[in-house]
Amino acid sequence: MKRKDIEPADFPKELQVIAEKVKRNERLNYDDALVCFESNDVLSLGKLARIVKEDLHGKICFYNINRHINPTNVCVYTYDCKFCGFAALPGEPHAWEYSHEDIYRKAELQGGDKVREFHIVGGCHPSLRLSWYEELLRGLKKRFPEVHIKAFTAIEIGWFAKLEKISVKEVLLRLRAAGLDSLPGGGAEIFDREIRKEICNGKLNADEWLEVHRTAHKLGIKSNCTMLYGHIEKAEHRVDHLLRLRALQDETGGFQAFIPLAYHPDNNFMGIKFKTPGLEDLKVIAVSRLVLDNIPNIKAYWIMLTPEVAQLALHFGANDIDGTVVEETIYHMVGASSREWMTREELETLIRIAGCEPVERDTLYNPVA
């Protein structure tokens, strides 16, 4: 279906204004976004989001052949980030710090498909210096020159700046010179000051997170963005979060993909013991597609959603399902029930069964021949 064929009268009353705007390709405002999040007509939202997605991407669904690596889980924010089950303090039994050689060996284990991207994130380690990370990136580039390195959340970049007493710009320039190609989207959580204080007091605030990405974009470094939902936030906090991302994207155009991340309940200090049900996840995907009119790609991260819900998300506005991953710890330490990797064949099958056309992409969203 095309935008012009939308019949607003066919939608429930509360969504008719939204349908009209989608039909006219008009930007949704704060109130519209709130109406979307407060509606329980997920199928109608999905229908609209799918039309928007197909307008942008047709039937294409992107995937990539990537490998996650977490050099260390030792983190100064271990007890600040209440939702995290990954981090540890130095010396705790579950803490790890891989050596460069350990990491090079892991990078070799690519699960059978030729990896095009390393996704590298970790804890904010109290004593690993920026030079250690620069050496790591140089070592990886030397051994895997054709692999794109997407590494370090804004939180890690901010931490390196604090530890080294240098600016965020200087950190980014040094890391880029050593081999950094782009930034992942983690650490955004929820921008609202009060909610952020409750769930991750102490680490970068919203303006600081956005400033790291603004600085990266100005240097020509592309990045992703995320939102952690399904904990104590309300609809208005989700809307505020999406609109702040949209405003930065208007300014810089540097975000490639938005990845909504559903809160997982195990092994953390939140005290919330359930994960959002699948329909809620599909609603967040759909509303993100409708509100973020300037971010080209909405990623249904299959590790976080499960392959089953990620597949459904392709009918609710998502056009990317992430990649092979190979080894995953962040979500598996907080209760993810999915496997840690999928092969190219499995990803392609999952996409085809959803009626979409699988296209392998590189990290910068160029289709791979």
Point out which residues bind ligand V47 (CB under 6 A): 83-85, 153, 184-187, 189, 224, 226, 228, 259, 261, 263-264, 268, 301, 322, 330, 334
* Cβ nearer to ligand V47, comparing 182 with 215: 182
User: Cβ closer to ligand V47: 82 or 162?
Assistant: 82
Least distance to ligand V47, CB of residue 304, Å: 7
Give the Cα-Cα-Cα angle 126, 127, 131 (nearest 5 degrees): 125
Task: Report in angstroms how near the CB of residue 47 gets to ligand V47 at its nearest.
Answer: 26
The least CB distance from residue 184 to ligand V47, in Å, is 3
- Nearer of residues 44 and 324 to ligand V47, judged by Cβ: 324
Nearest to 291 by CA among 239, 229, 237: 239
Instruction: Tell me the residue ranges of DSSP E strands in 230-277.
Output: 255-262
Edge to edge, what strands does the sheet with 320-323 contain? 320-323, 60-64, 357-360
Amino acid at 181: D
Min dist. Cβ of residue 334 to ligand V47 (A): 4
Closer Cβ to ligand V47, 233 or 322, answer by number: 322
- Smallest distance from the beta carbon of 303 to ligand V47, in angstroms? 7
CB of 361 to ligand V47, least distance (A): 12
Measured from the CB atom, the residue of 17 and 95 that comes closer to ligand V47 is 95
Within 8 A by CB and 6+ apart from 101, the residues are: none
CB 317 → ligand V47: shortest distance, Å?
Answer: 17
Q: Closer to ligand V47 by CB, 44 or 223: give it.
A: 223
d(CA 61, CA 350) in angstroms, rounded, equals: 10
CA distance 228 to 189: 4
Residue nearest to ligand V47 (CB): 186
Rounding to the nearest 10 degrees, give the CA dihedral for residues 167, 172, 178, 180: 160
Q: Count CB-CB contacts under 10 A for residue 130.
A: 18
Q: Which is nearer to ligand V47, 44 or 319 (CB)?
A: 319
Q: Which residues 6+ apart lie within 8 Å of 38 measured at CB? A: 14, 235
Helix pair angle (16-23, 42-57), 10° resolution: 10
